[in-house]
Amino acid sequence: MNALDVKYTLSERMIPYNHRLAPLLIRDSLFSLLPEGTEHIFVMGIGSNVISGDSLGPFVGTLLHDLYPHNLTVFGNLQFPLDAQTLEAQISRITLPQNSFVIAIDSVLGSEKIVNSIIIRDRSLMPGSGLGKSLPPIGNCSIMGVVLENDPLQKSSLFTTNLYLIYTMASNIAKGISLAVRQYYKYPAHHPILKICL
């Protein structure tokens, strides 16, 4: 869980979570960020599998798991989440090969103006900052779902966050990543975009 303010740079993109073209907009943003010669993409799905408002990252990881085994590796899913208790130990064991690219995904708290948006940044994210935790930065780029307002009185609402919001965000993010991988590595158009079952 991360905290996000409303200050943007030209390297950021904000997409409404339920925009009908959200997967294509996410694909386009990611495709523009992938360096030429990227040999492997890693997705870090950060979050909890027991707190609905913090389950976005693991949900995306589950939808993408084993979908492109030669070009995409996913860490963090609903079965084995990268949460506050496991994140540092898990990350310390991961060795990334040269010419790899890491996409970090997390739920975030933000200002009222950006709640229910998906934010794409061309830099790492700081997991746990929204809950006062100090964890190492992760990712060459980050995709964040703004699930609640950054208000101390709202933080308990993470346990009761609308699952339709999380499901829709996760589906659109996973589709966007899948489309970017499929286009970058020239998979055939009939290759599945998401895992069929959880």
The pLDDT-based confidence of 196 (bands split at 50, 70, 90) is low
The 3-state secondary structure of the chain, one letter per residue: CEECCCCCCCCEEEEECCCCCHHHHHHHHHHHHCCCCCCEEEEEEECCCCCHHHCHHHHHHHHHCCCCCCCEEEECCCCCCECCCCHHHHHHCCCCCCCEEEEEEEEEEECHHHCCEEEEECCCECCCHHHCCCCCCECCEEEEEEEEECCHHHHHHHHHCCHHHHHHHHHHHHHHHHHHHHHHCCCCCCCCCCCCCC
How many CB atoms within 10 Å of residue 147? Answer: 29
Q: Compute φ and ψ for 176, nearest 5 degrees.
A: -60, -45
- Residue among 135, 179, 191 nearest 24 (CA): 179
pLDDT at 27: 97
pLDDT at 150: 83
Of the options 3.30.470.20, 3.40.50.1450, 3.40.190.10, 3.30.1490.440, the CATH number for the domain spanning 2-184 = 3.40.50.1450
The pLDDT-based confidence of 135 (bands split at 50, 70, 90) is confident
- Among 83-87, 137-141, 153-157, which range has the highest average pLDDT? 137-141
Percent of the chain with pLDDT over 70: 88
pLDDT at 6: 44
Give the largest Cα separation in the chain, rounded: 48
Mean pLDDT of all residues in 21-39: 97
Buried b (16+ CB within 10 A) or exposed e, 7-29: eeeeebbbbebeeeebbbbbbbb
Percent of the chain with pLDDT over 90: 68
pLDDT at 129: 65
Q: Please determine, for residue 12, whether its predicted confidence score (pLDDT) is greater than 50.
A: yes
Mean pLDDT of all residues in 33-48: 96
Instruction: Give me the chain's average pLDDT, please.
Output: 89
pLDDT digits (tens, 9 = 90+) for 80-111: 999 888 888 888 888 899 999 999 999 998 88
Q: Which of 124-133, 145-154, 158-167 has the lowest mean pLDDT?
A: 124-133
